[in-house]
Amino acid sequence: MKISTITLEMSLKPFRDTKSETINKVLEILFEQWRPLYKDAESISILLWASDGSEILEYSGRLDDKFEWAKYIGCANPRWPDPDPNDPEGISIHRRPLPYIKNPPEFTYRWLKNLISKIKTYGKKVSGKKINLIATFDPGPEFAKSEFKYKNHNEICMANSMGARSFVCCYATLNADSKPYAGFPKGIPHGISLGTYLGRQSQKFMEDMGFDAIWLSNGFGFGLETWAYRGALFDGFKFTPEKAPETREKVLIFWRDFTKECKFPVQTRGSNFPSGTDLSSDAVPIREIYKKFKPQPPPNSPWAALNGDFGIEIGGWMSHIADLPDKSYIYRFYTHDPWFRNSPWLDRYNRESHDIYLPLAVSRIDANGNVMNPDKLSILTVDNSYGEMPDQVPNEVNPRILEAISHAPDAPSPVVWVYPFDEYHDMIAAGERLDEIFFGDWFICGAINQGFPINTVISTTNFIKSMKKKPCLFKESILAVPAATVSAECVKILANFAKDGGRILFYGPIANACKMIRELLNLKAIDPLEGVFKIKADYVTDCFRTGTMPDSITHNPIVSGGGIETVIDNSNEAGTKVIAEATQGEKSRIIAISRSFTKGKIVWLRGTVSGKSSSSGHLLSPMDPGKTFYPEILPRILLQEFGYKICFNKYSWDGRNPITMIGRHANGFFFSGFVPDITSGMKIRMPQGIPLFTGTETLIENGLASYNMPKSWHRECRIFIEQEENGRVVCSEHTAEYHGLKRRIRLSGLKNATVRFYHEPGSENKVKMLLDPVAPFLIGKFQKFKICDDSNGKHLDLGNISGELMISW
């Protein structure tokens, strides 16, 4: 994995006065702290949070004008209604912003221009690399006081994300204004589009200041309510598909108008949600934006930092990168918040690295079947809310990021999301089945939060192309596919894949699925049911000390793609097995099945989103997990049909489940995890056998490895065993010691075990396996192993081993 560009984001707070000496000192610290990250990159970008974009909106072209900058702690333009019963005196930082220091400096555009020039000159001198400066535009009220947005032109604030009329909408229009601006010296004409106004102002501002690109922040350019799951097409209770064509066109008009006026490269933050939500709630034509205007696609969202929701962060990111105009995309890590008195690395993450290892286990696959990783990396931000740049943060963050990069995926993960990127866009353009699009992404995001290890994505279009070029690309993977939204051409390839030995997990409603899918699944649709159901499900083997596992689900058709409508079509078909069903009085519906073929196997589950919609709040309100069974657990549970078993031991049933990703690198398996409650343990086995993590001990119990992992973890696994007897097994790194030897791994506690070693590519002729090893490990019982290449990958097999075994290469 090669990182081409490192972006360091910063505010102006470290510059506590306007002196040149202060600039020089800040730049010295900046470029020294992050050297380990950028030393092998091709270029460095500094993304400068000078204000909130109002410095662009207000810019007159006069360099000696002062500008209002982001000098506050707290929301600079509070828009929440008063009073707040939880803050009766109105003193929280969301209601009363305070300057970050006494008497903060005042800055002019001329000073900013000089700062940008110095950053480029100094950065090039100390790094030897090109330095790009990125301007920022934020649609919200948080960062700097803005008379333009909240007094003079509040008509452009159409979204209510942080109170009434608090967020700028990209397809707003402006009222007339006689004041002269850089791009409009005679004033703003009435009715001009925001795209035209902001684009022309941005072009003038960036030319004059020396910027090289612009960052559109917090969902700007991606719909109306980019901080909420609701939008122009969805109010939380009803979808209005008839609005889709008009709303879609409004977003495209913004991009046309903006890029006509502004010729600088555009980078985007995107919304906080997956593509399916952007499409179904706001008709955002992401595909057309990517292809026609070619902005840098959105990075992973900060949901994991803000509320621990890795499902939305990782699922949303995969949905955004499923299909890109080129190979480039970006990973962003949240170190400090310059405005809201928190530094995520130190407090939200508690110096744990889960938001590094989990997202960096994500990869996408292109049309040629190549695994693609993020080639850009951004740090938000290098300074904290007081303008401090503590060494502790880069000292601790840099090595973890570098380790994750060194283990970047180079092959599909065990579970691959086949994402209907084009089909979803075609459905939105036609104003069809918005509820199914909304459901599809929310369900997968929920499944990730319940421990479903899915971290590779490919669009259906790229899947079709890649399968023609590399028909064996997914022979080791399970494909996760929405049943009713993939194209007929894709279905044909999927059906052949399954019948030739492949493994597929279909999900979602089937009423609108094509005939081939329904026949493949042996299902048919009848009258849909909704509401509360009793559930009966096999394979649920999670253990808990207190409470009971709920036996009912609540199916909300609004957010779950309609009602539950599925029954078996041909009950005499021997290969079909019902795994879970839901009953409501005398009526029952099938919610999970498996179907076996001569070679391959498929699983299907209906899926339910366990959340309540409303007219307020950023996220769906979760149902009580102590009273309602979450069907989002079932994707992980149903992996047992394919030889995977991942189950958790928790204190209580309603406790949060660990999150796990499994990346493939150099023929090894690299597990990354987040354990929200470290009283939880994990038991696991895979088709390859019982996994032994390098550098750990495990208890083998009934064919499963038992692990108790820390809050965040990242482990290599190259060895799997088959062993009937229970016991303690150790897998430890050993010193190599000799020239020409790269590594040694030592196993102990084996009892009549079959050992499968996933060797590094090209090393099979260098591997030696020594039974009962004795130093200096030159003579003894060297074992003959079998070289294998099957549906479980390339590995070396050795049978009937007891005691200790040393593997060297």
pLDDT confidence tier of residue 345, bands split at 50, 70 and 90:
very high
Q: How many CB atoms lie within 10 A of CB 730?
A: 15
Whether cis (ω within 30° of 0) applies to the bond prior to 83 is yes
Q: How far is CA 409 from CA 106, 214, 270, 362, 369, in A?
A: 47, 30, 24, 8, 13
Mean pLDDT (the chain, rounded): 96
Q: Are 36 and 400 in contact (CB under 8 A)?
A: no
On the 0-12 / 13-18 / 19+ scale of CB atoms within 10 A, 784 is: exposed
480-502 per-position pLDDT tens digit: 999 999 999 999 999 999 999 99
Q: How many CB atoms lie within 10 A of CB 605?
A: 27
Structure tokens at 701: 């119990």
pLDDT(545) > 90: yes
The confidence score (pLDDT) of residue 651 equals 96
Can you state the angle between helices 488-499 and 460-469, rounded to 10 degrees? 50
The confidence score (pLDDT) of residue 304 equals 80
Q: Determine the average pLDDT of the residues in 775-800.
A: 95
Q: How far is CA 379 from CA 48, 127, 591, in A?
A: 12, 17, 43
The confidence score (pLDDT) of residue 305 equals 82
pLDDT(1) > 80: no
Structural domains of the chain, ranges and CATH numbers in brackets:
5-75+108-139+194-406 (3.20.20), 415-655 (3.40.50.880), 685-808 (2.60.420)
Neighbouring-strand partners of residue 652 = 546
* Percent of the chain at pLDDT exceeding 90: 95
63-97 per-position pLDDT tens digit: 999 999 999 999 999 998 878 888 988 889 989 99
671-721 per-position pLDDT tens digit: 999 999 999 999 999 999 999 999 999 999 999 999 999 999 999 999 999
Residue 219 and residue 204: Cα distance in Å, rounded?
A: 23
E-strand stretches of 76-186: 98-99, 107-108, 130-137, 157-159, 167-168
Instruction: Give residues with Cβ within 8 angstroms of 510, minimum separation 6.
Output: 483, 484, 517, 518, 521, 523, 524, 525, 565, 566, 604
The confidence score (pLDDT) of residue 307 equals 82
Nearest to 755 by CA among 729, 774, 790: 729
Nearest to 119 by CA among 12, 201, 221: 12
313-322 per-position pLDDT tens digit: 999 999 999 9
The confidence score (pLDDT) of residue 801 equals 98
Cα of first residue to Cα of last residue in the chain, in angstroms, is 24
The confidence score (pLDDT) of residue 2 equals 87
The confidence score (pLDDT) of residue 615 equals 86
Residue 570 and residue 684: Cα distance in Å, rounded?
A: 34
Nearest to 146 by CA among 13, 266, 56, 253: 56
291-339 per-position pLDDT tens digit: 999 999 999 998 888 888 999 999 999 999 999 988 899 999 999 999 9
Q: Are 658 and 675 in contact (CB under 8 A)?
A: yes
| Tokens 């992996």 belong to residue | 639
Instruction: Give residues with Cβ within 8 angstroms of 799, minimum separation 6.
Output: 754, 755
Q: How far is CA 254 from CA 148, 262, 274, 313, in A?
A: 19, 12, 21, 26
* Percent of the chain at pLDDT exceeding 70: 100
Nearest to 473 by CA among 534, 562, 559, 411: 411
Nearest to 151 by CA among 76, 99, 221: 76
